[in-house]
Amino acid sequence: MRIPLNAKRVLLVDDDALLSKMFGDFLANSGYETRASENGAAALEQVIEFQPHLVVLDIGLPDISGLEVLRQIKTNPSSRRVLVILITGATGMDMKIEAFQTGANDYLSKPINLRELVLKVHRCFATLQDEESAIVMKQREILNSVAYTLDQGLRAPLQRSAMKFGRLSRKSRARDGSPGWHESIVLRSRQSTS
């Protein structure tokens, strides 16, 4: 997932529209493109439409629990790589454990400190960049391996062909004494395999 610096998309999901607006304005001032949803159903639609890189998701939504929204995001092939930070007012460790087991990438407890929110959002995007860099490096390794294999696999047949052309050329020259068209092909073939 290539993330241009000007297109870091964050979906904010909280039933408190004022809180979402405050978070959205704060993140927008930090360079993020944001959208907000006030319930789980709208959030799932926005995940498909807006294609956020990150969802900041309140667990306590009016229609569907935030954990269920998280499950649906993580089980959908088109959104399973979307990072999710869960927000809750619950202080128990069981909720945090369930959130991480369900696929949350991070966790915030209410009341939310805006600096902590931005720090965690920055960290999530750094993780995405690291993953992307690793994928690009792996793709380069595979491409180099394929190119090397093709080079090695084609080299021997080309050399054999060049040798056959060389023999034909010598036979042709031996018959009429003039260099044949074969020699120029043989010379070019030998130069390309060297």
Please count the residues of the chain.
194
Q: What does the radius of gyration of the chain's CA atoms come to, in whole angstroms?
A: 30
Q: pLDDT confidence of 104, banded at 50, 70, 90?
A: very high
Q: Which residue has the higher pLDDT, 77 or 171?
A: 77
63 has a pLDDT exceeding 90: yes
Q: How confident is the model at residue 191 (pLDDT cuts 50, 70, 90)?
A: low
Task: Name the average pLDDT for the chain.
Answer: 80
Considering the chain, what percentage of its residues have pLDDT values greater than 90?
A: 30
**9-132: CATH number:** 3.40.50.2300
Which residue, among 48, 34, 39, has the nearest Cα to 118 in the 3D structure? 34
Q: Mean pLDDT across the stretch 164-193? A: 59
Instruction: Report angle CA 91, 93, 98 to the nearest 5 degrees.
Output: 110
Q: Is pTM beyond 0.85 here?
A: no
Q: How confident is the model at residue 68 (pLDDT cuts 50, 70, 90)?
A: very high
The pLDDT score that the predictor gives to residue 1 is 44
pLDDT digits (tens, 9 = 90+) for 121-159: 888 888 777 667 666 777 777 777 777 677 766 667 777
Q: What is the C-alpha end-to-end distance of the chain, expressed in Å?
A: 40
- Tokens representing 140? 């380069």
The mean pLDDT value for 165-177 works out to: 62
- Strand residue runs (E) in 31-189: 33-37, 54-58, 83-88, 106-109
pLDDT-derived band at 2 (thresholds 50, 70, 90) equals very low
Higher pLDDT, 39 or 160: 39
Q: Is 161 exposed, middle or buried (0-12, 13-18, 19+ CB in 10 A)?
A: middle
The residues, ordered by sequence, that sit 6+ positions from 189 with a Cβ below 8 Å of its Cβ are 158, 161, 162, 165
